Amino acid sequence: MAFQTSSELFEKAKKVIPGGVNSPVRACRSVGCDPVFITKAAGATLWDADGNEYVDFVCSWGPMIMGHAHPEIVEAVTRAAASGTSFGAPTPTEIDLASMVVEALPSVEKVRFVNSGTEATMSAVRLARGFTGKKVVVKFDGCYHGHADSFLVKAGSGVLTLGIPGSPGVPEEIVKNTLSIPYNNEQVLEATLRDEKLDIACVIVEPVAGNMGCVPPKPGFLKKLRALTAERGIVLIFDEVITGFRLGYGGAQQYYDVSPDLTCLGKIIGGGLPVGAYGGKAEIMNCIAPDGPVYQAGTLSGNPLAMAAGIATLKLLQEPGFYDRLEAKAAGFAERLNEVAGTFGIPVQLNRVGSIMTAFFTAVEVTDFTSAMLADTEMYARHYRQMLEGGIYLAPSQFEVAFISAAQSERDLDKAVKMTEWSFKKLVQM
């Protein structure tokens, strides 16, 4: 494939945009190449500025569960835009989408819309602190909850990909109120939450870690977390920005039968447009202004375009058997990838939950941040470049996830399997 136009665009971008990108992982530094610039997408297919075609397994980092430019979603957004794109005032569609979210998630009695997952998690933590009157936030190593100051402690996603140990510009007095403990470690969890000296307001967790790669919770871990937080009067926040409406219509909390106090959402509920949300028990949500003293606001929150796209998407997800079909597709694809890895003797741990998966280049089972760090990032980088050359668009980081969408056909998946065989054969020869 030729990437000349993308290379030229990247050089232009670096002159006016830091690093040439508007989100760090997109720079592709960890995989040893320049990014391709995407100009068009439809279904499961992307086209770049050079006219190259790819089968997409990034899905805009998750929200494109129905594929790109789905006709019903495009129609809903077009219809909404014709009546105005933003009013900074209440609209009927906010109520419609909020009602759908509340109906889908029994733990959510009220919901507030924002513009991103970062806004959702940041606001949920502020709310938990305001509700409890306590300061300390407990998170888990390798879990990423956006780029708000208090979350950049042993974070995943781009921080992990680029090897940044936190971030300059984050005051020590903010970081000192964030504790990061090992994911999937019940002993450390219990010791931390039972520590009387700690002023813990909340625990925030990705119920399935998705930003150090796909790392599922060990059996019983989430239920233990729920029991301990309930016992200690600590607010439990599920960051379901990735898992919400993806593992099932009721998200990870339905999938694992664990009910948090607050839930953060994004990605799918905007149907590909910028959106975020946080919701939970009415007792807690009523602390938000104007009903309560915890302040949060946003001019574009609940904007009509995002609401229209979200409603259209959630209606499509309600089709009977949708998640069963998605699960079967993902399971079959993962099985074929494991067979390829076994054929060539490539040390790969394929972690999958529903339609989310990561192939870690390591012989060690990946269950937490420490084991994820054993993955061979150089081998992944070579694999990424080879797959890109073959028309398969993967995440440009070992520590991100691949997504299966409703739009990917058997032909698309066949191509991905064949290209994986070709790439693994080359890896063995190196």
Give catalytic residues, as residue numbers.
144, 239, 267
CB contact set of 32 (below 8 Å; sequence gap of 6+): 381, 385
State the Rg of the chain over Cα.
21
Q: What is the DSSP string of 35-60?
A: PPPEEEEEBTEEEETT--EEEESSGG
Running DSSP on this structure, what letter comes out for residue 260?
-
In whole angstroms, give the CA distance from residue 258 to residue 253: 5
Name the residue among 77, 78, 104, 87 with its Cα closest to residue 308.
77
State whether residue 22 is helix, strand or coil.
coil
The position carrying tokens 């906010």 is 94
CB contact set of 151 (below 8 Å; sequence gap of 6+): 121, 122, 139, 144, 145, 178
In whole angstroms, give the CA distance from residue 269 to residue 66: 12
CB contact set of 191 (below 8 Å; sequence gap of 6+): none
In whole angstroms, give the CA distance from residue 430 to residue 428: 6
What's the first-to-final CA gap in the chain, in angstroms?
21
**β-bridge pairing 262-266 and 235-239:** parallel
Name the residue among 131, 119, 109, 108 with its Cα closest to residue 294.
131
Q: Which is it for the CA torsion 406, 411, 412, 413, positive or negative?
A: positive
